[in-house]
Amino acid sequence: MTILLPTDEQPDPESTARTFGTLPPRSGPLYSQAMTVEVEVVREPTDEVVSAFARLLPQLSTSATPLDHGAVGRMLSHDANTVFMARVAGEIVGTLTLVMVPIPSGLRARIEDVVVDDSARGNGVGTALTAAAIDAARTANARTLDLTSRPERDSAGRLYERLGFRERDSRIYRLAGAE
């Protein structure tokens, strides 16, 4: 699946409001006038994809272990995962993983590991990736779509709110070293 988002188009507010909230009106273009963002679902652990993860993952987490072809292949082939990559001028500049799992209360979706290359931030790449994930979750009839974002990532928080996400009053727990 390839989603092409030209610089002069904005997402249709009606399509964004169906399940996951309302996209408020926005003035001006979503992307820089010179930028076209192409988002695709990644299916194969090519050298280009593995190389992109090697470059992007350290920008997301300093503690993440580098991924080899085998690790990328396992991630891509897992039934719960849909991995999106964004390109600008043919170069991979961002990635997002959509995880969808059926549980007793319904199909739940979660956005994980969103990273946009430092050189491409502020140009609609995160918006394009998140919009693709929202569309995929809706198409699958997910009941909810959740994500987390660190408090210091103000611009990411504003992006998610602009796309209709709302902060939840919830506790998040983590068991470290559960390997």
Residue 34: what pLDDT?
54
Token look-up 């009106």 returns 25
Question: Which comes out higher in pLDDT, residue 133 or 173?
Answer: 133
How far is Cα 138 from Cα 15, in angstroms, rounded to an integer? 10
pLDDT exceeds cutoff 90 at 15: no
Which among 107, 112, 110, 166 is positioned nearest to 142, based on CA atoms? 107
Q: Are 94 and 86 in contact (CB under 8 A)?
A: yes
Q: How many CB atoms lie within 10 A of CB 156?
A: 17
Distance of CA 164 to the CA centre of its chain: 14
Report the range of poorest mean pLDDT among 21-35, 37-51, 57-71, 108-122: 21-35
Q: Is it true that domain 2-162 has CATH number 3.40.1190.20?
A: no
Alpha carbons within 13 A on the beta-carbon side of 127: 29
What are the pLDDT digits (tens) for 103-124? 999 999 999 999 999 999 988 9
**In the chain, where the domains are located:** 2-162
> What is the pLDDT confidence band of residue 173, given thresholds at 50, 70 and 90?
confident
Question: What is the 8-class DSSP label of residue 177?
Answer: T
